[in-house]
């Protein structure tokens, strides 16, 4: 997700949002970031998929299986993977090369969780740059040296 915004001082800012497939570890979160890996989730998903396939295969021909039950089983299988993807952390970066006069190059970086929150944050950062020439200091983005 990329967006180019012109600040109120005339500089062009590039706002980028990149999906992180692994959790970025911050110093204060290190002790609490204990993760068992993807193994247990894959095993449980495989067991659930196996049971659903077994349920469909062992169903006698005389039994009528309503279509809503099939749809419910598909939703149950896809719920947690879709939820996992929608709640991944995104790294949002706002950068400008500066200009040749008085404004140096700047880069602001922050991490936002969730697809919809990222879209909202990118819009808020773009609006703040248009009005005040830089991202909000009290927002989720912080300047990087």
pTM score, whole prediction: 0.72
Query: One digit per residue, pLDDT tens: the chain, 145 residues?
Result: 899 999 988 899 999 999 987 766 554 555 555 556 678 778 888 898 898 889 888 889 899 889 998 899 889 878 888 888 888 899 999 999 977 778 889 999 999 999 899 999 999 999 999 999 999 999 999 999 7
Residues with Cβ within 8 Å of residue 32, at least 6 apart in sequence = none
Q: 96-116: string of b/e by CB count within 10 Å (b at 16+)?
A: beeeeeebeebebebebeebe
């Amino acid at each position: 997700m990329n967006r180019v915004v012109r600040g109120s001082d005339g500089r062009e800012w590039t706002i980028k949002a990149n999906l992180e497939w692994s959790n970025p570890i911050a110093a204060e979160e290190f002790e609490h970031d204990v993760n068992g890996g993807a193994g247990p989730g894959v095993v449980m998903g495989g067991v659930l998929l196996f049971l659903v396939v077994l349920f469909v295969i062992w169903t006698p021909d005389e039994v009528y299986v309503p279509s809503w039950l099939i749809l419910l089983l598909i939703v149950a299988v896809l719920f947690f993977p879709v939820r996992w993807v929608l709640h991944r952390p995104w790294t949002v970066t706002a950068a400008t090369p500066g200009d040749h006069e008085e404004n140096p190059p700047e880069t602001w970086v922050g991490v936002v969780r969730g697809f919809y929150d990222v879209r909202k944050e990118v819009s808020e950062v773009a609006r703040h740059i248009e009005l005040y020439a830089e991202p909000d200091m009290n927002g989720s983005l912080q300047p990087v040296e």
